[in-house]
Amino acid sequence: MRLISLARASRDDRGSALAAVVGIVLLTVVVALTVATTTVQSLERTDDTRDTVSAEFAAEAGVAVAQAAIEGAACGGGTFASSSAAPFHRTIVQHVVGGVMTNGCPTADEEYRIVATGYDSAASYAADDGRSVEARYEAVPQPFAPTGPAMYSHGGMSFGNNGDIQPLTGDDMSIMMHDGDLVCANSISGNTDVIVKSGNLTAGNGCEIGGDTWVLSGSATLANGASIAGKLVASHLVIENNHSGTLGPLYADDTTGSAPGQLADHGPVQSKSAAGAMPRVPGWVDFEFEAADWPGYTVVTLSGCNRTAAKSALDSLAGAPGVLNALHCIELDLTGLGQTTVQTLTANVAIFAPSFKLSQTKFAGQTGNERLWLVTPDYIDNGVPSCGEADGTGIIVPDDTSLANSSEFTNLAVMLYTPCSISFGNSLVIHGQVYANSIHVKQHLTYRYAPTGLPGTNLTEGTDTPPIELALSSYRNTSTTAKSLGAP
């Protein structure tokens, strides 16, 4: 009996073990299926995430492309598209017109937005199912900082007798010539450097230069009482026998033609290469009238081409910054403006004309912080002065500008710009800068360098600067796509 009971118990244990094994197998299968399902779902989510991220990056790239185009004044029609290789973007720029966002690129002071949509495939593009980013900007005019030398001539410069040229506040200043010769018989006082890039220097009696003088590739000829306080650097140096002025250190590679006694008195003459790094004379900057360069200025077109029309336009500004447009004239004759009562400026003013005539013309600033620009435009964007070139209308023909006797520009900074020549008559008083093709001074010029510059330019580097600066006001994802706004 006991053996029978043991046999039955053994069969019952084997049945229980089988059930346990089957249960473990089933549990393993369930776990495996769960893991497999989770893995597949995870992979699908990974693919979705990857596609979303790539589309997002493409959209952000679209914003960057549009932003760079606007900063570089190359926005064009305001739509941008990358290649169709996935991922890719479609981007559009809109600006505010009459309070409404309108497709197109902004000008200065206009609010605008960039909407860029990224797509991970051609199918998502066809369905317009991408990731969109919206960037809103305020277009802020680039802060204006005066640049450039005290005087810049591209093609020649001469100074007559009994002048006084120096900084207004004791700062360093420079006089630069790109091409042509410099003839000096005038006082250039203070710590003023003179740099002649391609021409020659002839310095005679009355020429006194307070800083360094660089004649980068030509000859420097010194005669009579010519004096240079700083160092003189030239490829070829000639000190004539009648020279009686004082000189600083001399650097030249060739002294053929110099009086031996003069070389002995002023020597030794060192090699030009020992003078140190040569200064750079920047190229010419073309400048014409563009309203975007003058944000916040009221533009007034003159009713005539004389001082009466100019004074009427100045009075109409009522103390606000303004631009007087006389480009329809042949010459703007300001003779006698301010002769009886000095024309006082209480805000900055720019005057554009094909040429100017100024005799007994007197401007002054009320506080000393005012600026005045007298500009003859250069319409040909070629990096050299283009005098006498029309703007395409056949009306505007720039010509030389003449500043005759007893004109004064005081207690303000004035910029004189022309692609032609500027001739200074007798007994002139000017605070500011001069930028011209050629500059000719007769005598008795009192000139004080006051940095003025031109908006939208860097005259120190010889380059244009972007007219606007971007100020980001918001950056967010959006459900609006660039395609729905008109992007290709």
Per residue in 31-72, pLDDT tens?
A: 666 655 555 454 444 455 666 788 899 999 999 999 999 888
Closest CA to 396 of 419, 373, 423: 419
Q: What is the mean pLDDT of residues 426-443?
A: 85
User: What is residue 139's predicted lDDT score, i.e. its pLDDT?
Assistant: 67
pLDDT exceeds 60 at position 12: no
User: What is residue 255's predicted lDDT score, i.e. its pLDDT?
Assistant: 93
The bridge status of strand 131-141 relative to strand 111-119 is antiparallel
pLDDT exceeds 90 at position 263: no
Q: How high does pLDDT run on average in the chain?
A: 85
| CB count in 10 Å sphere of residue 442 | 20
User: What is residue 327's predicted lDDT score, i.e. its pLDDT?
Assistant: 93
Buried b (16+ CB within 10 A) or exposed e, 162-196: ebbbbbbeeeebbbbbbbbbbbbbbbbbbbbbbbb
**How confident is residue 396, by pLDDT bands cut at 50, 70 and 90?**
very low
pLDDT exceeds 60 at position 371: yes
Q: How far apart are CA 40 and CA 323, in angstroms?
A: 70
What are the φ and ψ backbone dihedral angles of 130, each rounded to 5 degrees? Answer: -130, -170
pLDDT exceeds 80 at position 402: no
Q: What is the mean pLDDT of residues 350-366?
A: 90
**How confident is residue 187, by pLDDT bands cut at 50, 70 and 90?**
confident
Q: How far apart are CA 62 and CA 67, in angstroms?
A: 9
Distances (CA, A) of 343 to 301, 337, 427: 19, 7, 18
User: What is residue 445's predicted lDDT score, i.e. its pLDDT?
Assistant: 79
**How confident is residue 2, by pLDDT bands cut at 50, 70 and 90?**
low
Q: What is the mean pLDDT of residues 389-398?
A: 41
User: What is residue 397's predicted lDDT score, i.e. its pLDDT?
Assistant: 38
Q: What percent of the chain has pLDDT over 70?
A: 83
User: What is residue 388's predicted lDDT score, i.e. its pLDDT?
Assistant: 74
Best-predicted range by mean pLDDT among 20-29, 39-48, 394-403?
20-29
Q: What is the mean pLDDT of residues 183-208?
A: 87
On whether the CB atoms of residues 91 and 116 are closer than 8 A, the answer is yes
Q: What is the mean pLDDT of residues 236-243?
A: 93
Q: How far apart are CA 283 and CA 271, in angstroms?
A: 27
**How confident is residue 433, by pLDDT bands cut at 50, 70 and 90?**
very high
Q: Dihedral sign, CA of 57, 58, 61, 66? A: negative
**How confident is residue 107, by pLDDT bands cut at 50, 70 and 90?**
confident
The bridge status of strand 88-97 relative to strand 100-103 is antiparallel
Cα Rg of the chain, angstroms: 37
pLDDT exceeds 90 at position 343: yes
pLDDT exceeds 60 at position 124: yes
First and final CA of the chain: distance in angstroms?
A: 95
